[in-house]
Amino acid sequence: MSSWVVLLSCILFSSLLSFASWEVEARRFVISSLISEDLFDAIFIHKDNNACPAKGFYTYDSLIQASKCFPRFGNTGNLTTRKREIAAFLAQISHETTGGWATAPDGPYAWGLCFKEEVSPQSDYCDSSNTEWPCAPAKSYKGRGPIQLSWNYNYGPAGKALGFDGLNNPEIVSNNSIIAFKTALWFWMTEQRPKPSCHDVMVGKYVPTASDVEANRTPGFGLVTNIINGGLECGIPNDGRVNDRIGYFQRYAKLFNVTTGPNLDCQNQKPF
């Protein structure tokens, strides 16, 4: 996909910027300066293993192309903050798509991006009470893509922001690698009140409300986990899923040569 096609596909999401200024910004900030293809391959050692259903799907080029729609991603704050945000994002999508296990070759945290869609979903993830983003007949809004985008109320606005029909064609998220990465970055960058964006948390722009303080929602990687899946994972001592996310983050932070920062878990946080 040419850079011009990528630029044009992102106009809707960047409506607050003029085309000229956005084009300059998108060209100026490219995360490939912080994550090379060699580093990407070192992070995702087994993503193209024959045992992984997503073999060949999640390419380095697709990540870089998708990131051009989000010029603030990995480009806010000092160098350490920028690298830490990318490491945190890759850690979260690795857990969501993990194919690892305790005794896996190269360890359990070398198997991110193994799956591109949820296996054996327990429902079609349709919230029929949400009339703003009504479900299409016979469509499943199960987890797809790096962040495992789920529910009609996420597919709808993601599609609107990124230029695809999320309600009528949710399958595109597991059929198009660039769109898949775009949905993950859209979720990462987008505030969904009362939740802050994962981006704002990781770059230090999150300002806790009185309710956040009462719920002990302290800034850090654990709060990002709360944003993504706090209803199932947070407020639980030593939750295995939370620990898996942390394990990925710790490995990736070392590869980026940065620290993880504080507050890695959410066991003492109330979900949103």
Encode 81-107 in three state secondary structure.
HHHHHHHHHHHHHHHHCCCCCCCCCCC
Q: Which of 96, 117, 118, 233 is catalytic?
A: 96
Distance (Å, rounded) from C-alpha 175 to C-alpha 244?
Answer: 27
Told to judge if 96 belongs to the known catalytic residues of this protein, a careful annotator would answer yes
Q: Which residue has the tokens 């956040």?
A: 212
Distance (Å, rounded) from C-alpha 262 to C-alpha 198?
Answer: 15
Phi, psi values for residue 192, rounded to 5°: -130, 85
Phi, psi values for residue 62, rounded to 5°: -65, -40
With the C-alpha atoms ordered 156, 150, 51, 182, is the resulting torsion angle positive or negative?
positive
End-to-end CA, the chain? 38
Distance (Å, rounded) from C-alpha 210 to C-alpha 188?
Answer: 23
Contact predicate 143/96, CB 8 Å: yes
Give the burial class of 128: count Cβ atoms within 10 A of its Cβ; 0-12 exposed, 13-18 middle, 19 or more buried: exposed
Phi, psi values for residue 136, rounded to 5°: -85, 150
Catalytic residues: 96
